[in-house]
Amino acid sequence: MKDLYTFDVSPEAALETYNQVQAAYKGVFNALKLPVIVAKASSGDMGGDISHEYHLPTPVGEDTVITCDACDYTANTEIAETRAGTTEHITTANTEVSAAKVWRGISKDHATLVNVWYPGELLGELGVEEMHDVDVSIPAVKAVIPDLDASIDDAMSLWEKAVAPESMSGERMKRRPTLINLVDFRLASKKDELLHQQGRLWPLLQSATVMPEIDIITVAKGSDGQGLNVLAARSGDRCPSCDGGILKTRKALEVGHTFHLGTRYSEPLGATVSIPAGLDSGSDSDVQAVAERASAMQMGCHGIGVSRLIGAVVEHLADEKGLQWPRAIAPYETVIVPATDLAEEAARAYDEITNPADGSVGIDAVLDDRKVSFPWKLKDADLVGYPVVVVLGKVWKQTGNCEIQCRRLGIKETVPLAGLRQRVSQLLEQL
């Protein structure tokens, strides 16, 4: 991973730097001929409020990204959103209460138990699919319960201990215990029936004496007034960014990540910078005034996977014959492959393209003068993946012309030696 850390004096400058880093990364991907897509991402433990991942769509990728078929909405599965449908858009295979499932979470202070109710089955692209707790969208839950502690596996047991009479009477319980039911929009019509039996809400609680002391809240709509969607985005869901788009999942390989950290680390560490005199409205000579304008540094953290990019290029550009390196990282731009008895002619061709007589910049080429058979060298050139292959063989002997091969562009043609460098240069511009 090639890391980059940035430091700026203001949020505006930091965002400008962030955009510059994004542009630089996109330039790298374009030079490598990789159709990388940029996905909104979670900042996770890194912190900050802006984060993007850079993915190469590929069936062998270890990540999954969500894209829209009608707009440019792209996000990773951690934060991908969907638009809750109305009743005519419900894709639930079974909306019976008995088929509903519940995922339980707890707040960081253990005072609030969160029941997330979701359908046990959904109609997917391959038919009826069973839903599980892993299909619950933690970001969607956190949007309603910001202090959710998603790291707790057995939330029910912790909450039961927290609301027990001996715990509630002591100092451990700082506020009134609460039970919040989040109901997915697909179950909204069954909400009352779903929550009717208290045994489903707190199956582990045995003491009825604490029941009246627990606040029970039910949430079935988001802040936008739309039905609450608690499940992670899936293929076939409606796009949250446009009206007619449908979301698709794509396997992808992550090759980079950018974070705008803001003051996530600089404030706790006291890492400040004085505003330059030219940006200070006070006197340039007033040192105290400048010191008073000291500001926590705005930070950014960025990384591009150098070794991953090599694998990504291979995965995306290689074919059944071998590698096909883009010009930017090819070991050589061109290889000259001569027949066994054309060594002197090959040397002339090499000099023609690497050391042009007019003094212009030559082409980065290698002459394959190994003492092996001509067919073997041709196959090896394909395997190595040189952008352009110049062959001196039967065509040279018959016409005195060179054969140019460019597998990436599907080109196989002949040119005279005098026009070799110009034609190779034209092809390289496309690679």
Q: Give the 3-state secondary structure of residue 46.
A: helix
pLDDT tens per residue, range 395-421 = 999 999 999 999 999 999 999 999 999
Among 81-90, 97-106, 130-139, the range scoring the smallest mean pLDDT is 81-90
In this prediction, residue 294 carries a pLDDT of 82
Whole-prediction pTM: 0.79
Measured between alpha carbons, how far is residue 362 from residues 98, 111, 353, 408, 425 in Å?
75, 72, 6, 22, 9
Residue type, 192: D
Percent of the chain's residues with pLDDT above 90: 59
Which band of pLDDT confidence, cut at 50, 70 and 90, is reported for residue 93? low
Residue type, 220: A
DSSP 122: E
Residue type, 362: G
In this prediction, residue 262 carries a pLDDT of 94
In this prediction, residue 400 carries a pLDDT of 92
Structure-model confidence comparison of residues 92 and 283, the more confident one: 92
Q: What is the mean pLDDT of the chain?
A: 86
- 150 vs 421: CA distance, rounded Å: 62
In this prediction, residue 290 carries a pLDDT of 45
Which band of pLDDT confidence, cut at 50, 70 and 90, is reported for residue 356? confident
Region 224-234 average pLDDT: 86
- 11 vs 16: CA distance, rounded Å: 9
pLDDT tens per residue, range 34-72 = 999 999 998 877 888 899 999 999 999 999 999 999 999
Task: Check residue 127 and give left, alpha or beta (phi > 0: left; psi -120 to 50: alpha).
Answer: left
Region 255-259 average pLDDT: 97
Lookup result for tokens 């627990």: 214
In this prediction, residue 214 carries a pLDDT of 79
Structure-model confidence comparison of residues 158 and 89, the more confident one: 158
Lookup result for tokens 């779903």: 194
In this prediction, residue 157 carries a pLDDT of 84
Q: How many residues does the chain have?
A: 431
In this prediction, residue 165 carries a pLDDT of 62
In this prediction, residue 215 carries a pLDDT of 84
Which band of pLDDT confidence, cut at 50, 70 and 90, is reported for residue 240? confident
Contact 48, 264 (CB under 8 A): yes
Contact 202, 113 (CB under 8 A): yes
- Would you say residue 208 has pLDDT above 60? no
> Residue 134: which residues within 8 A CB-CB, separation 6 or more?
none
Q: What are phi and psi of 26, to 5 degrees?
A: -65, -35
In this prediction, residue 379 carries a pLDDT of 97
Among 13-27, 166-180, 303-317, the range scoring the smallest mean pLDDT is 166-180
Provide the token pair at 215: 């606040």
- Would you say residue 309 has pLDDT above 70? yes
Contact 164, 212 (CB under 8 A): no
- Would you say residue 151 has pLDDT above 90? no
Question: For residue 336, which of 257, 265, 403 has the smallest C-alpha distance?
Answer: 403
